[in-house]
Amino acid sequence: MIQKLTISFFLILLLSLIWFVTGLINVKAAPSHTIKDNYAMVLAPRIETLTPANRLTEPVLIGQTGVTATSSSKLYFPAIVNNFCSTVFNYNEPIRYNLSKINAETAWNSCSQGEGIIVAVVDTGIDLDHPDLQANLVSGQSFVSGTSSPDDDAGHGTHVAGMVAGVSNNGGIIGVAPKASLMPVKVLDSQGSGSLYDVADGIEWATDNGANVINLSLGSVGNSSTLQAAVDYATNQGALLVAAGGNCGDAYYYLNGCSYRDQPVYPAAYTNVMAVASTDSSDNQSSFSNEGSYIEIAAPGSSIYSTYPSGAYATMSGTSMASPHVAGLAALIWSQNPDWTNQEVRSQIRATAQDLGSSGWDSQFGYGRIDASAALNSQTTTASTVNPGTEATDAAAVDAPYVPGEILLKLRSDVTVNHVLDPARLAQNKVKVAGTIDQLGVMKLTVTAGQEQELLAELLNSGGVIYAELNYIVTVH
């Protein structure tokens, strides 16, 4: 009888202890923020849940009815490990439709705001003194002749930068990745125009100086070997490139430098670039947004309010505005998963997008409109190959505008310009090497204006030339 009472006593004591412990342990989120809906269940006495350094974990015992594993001597209870942010992310900026539509606020509650990720804005530069950008800026570079600073003298790059990583300072606007770093790379002038040589040079510089994500809210209808080489170089070095899909989707295509409606623009149409289409506040396709086989993803791009030079703000529309939303999302994902490759980040963006238009991939929205919350709360991605139809090629030769008096040339390593052009021709056309992109092995030649086509034909017929092409003009999109 005494033995039975003793067993009963210890059983009651054990159950009381379990009840007491479960009453003490209570996981709470920071005020006004939601706990990340993510957990790990462990059925062994040893808990090994790996979490990022900025997370806290707290094991919670559940009731006896949840027992799922026993042994002859021990009783194990499943432990639910909740993840929550160790610091509060404060923000009080208005959350406009573009951020609301992509569920940015919920994504920020997943302990990632883009920390540790550098996003290069290859554009007209960035206002280096803007109160909503200054805290996130890192060193940049200008590739525009006559300028030494990447400060923005046009406005376009500053507007783009705000959407990527406008800081949380409870005023003005906030970006998709408000703690990501912004690298200003100026390749377009005060009119929003530049050359593909400068864009390629900017991409190479950004890559070599640590950019994880490169945003290209610009484009040209000229398909360039030099530009593609820069894109491939950056991708092979581990960067993710995101570009505007083009604004030639309506009857005003000619105002955006296109020869016909939905004409492919580059670099967006290259396989190693995420081409972004634009949506409006109702998740409809923006009227100006290009359709095509190269469109991979969509994001808000109509009537976007963002930063502008001299500490101002402005509303602008274009696939230029859609692209930085995707670049910002890439920064959020990479910050949360620093060991992922560029292809894994890219796959995560595609796999978690909200399908729009026709079921599955379509030429209007690609794989759908981005969803930041889904991208940060789904951790099951694996790198996948890009849709075979995503690289566009022109059906016919394009008469694209180019910089007068300039030719881009790539030679075999054992060949020089003197080997492929007659010395008399060099003197007659005043041919000079005006610049090189070392990592790409590309030279920019200056020649007598008006002689570009003739000299180009001669180069293409010479041995030792890998390619020679015109230096096409690139503009904002």
Instruction: Give the residue numbers annotated as catalytic, written as ranges.
Output: 123, 156, 320
Cα–Cα distance, 61 to 145 (Å, whole number): 65
Classify burial at 441, counting beta carbons within 10 Å of its beta carbon; exposed 0-12, middle 13-18, buried 19 or more: middle
**Strand 274-279 to 240-244 pairing:** parallel
- DSSP E strands in 67-149: the ranges are 69-70, 75-76, 79-85, 118-123, 141-142
| Residues 6 or more apart whose Cβ sits within 8 Å of residue 368 | 297, 298, 353, 354, 355, 356
Task: Cite the DSSP H helix spans in 307-383.
Answer: 319-336, 342-351, 372-377
Q: Are 320 and 301 in contact (CB under 8 A)?
A: yes
In the beta sheet, which residues pair with residue 312? Answer: 308
Name residue 154's amino acid.
A
Cα–Cα distance, 207 to 118 (Å, whole number): 10
Segment holding 407, helix H or strand E = strand 402-411
Cα–Cα distance, 246 to 291 (Å, whole number): 9
SS3 content of the chain, % helix, strand, coil (to 5): 25, 25, 50
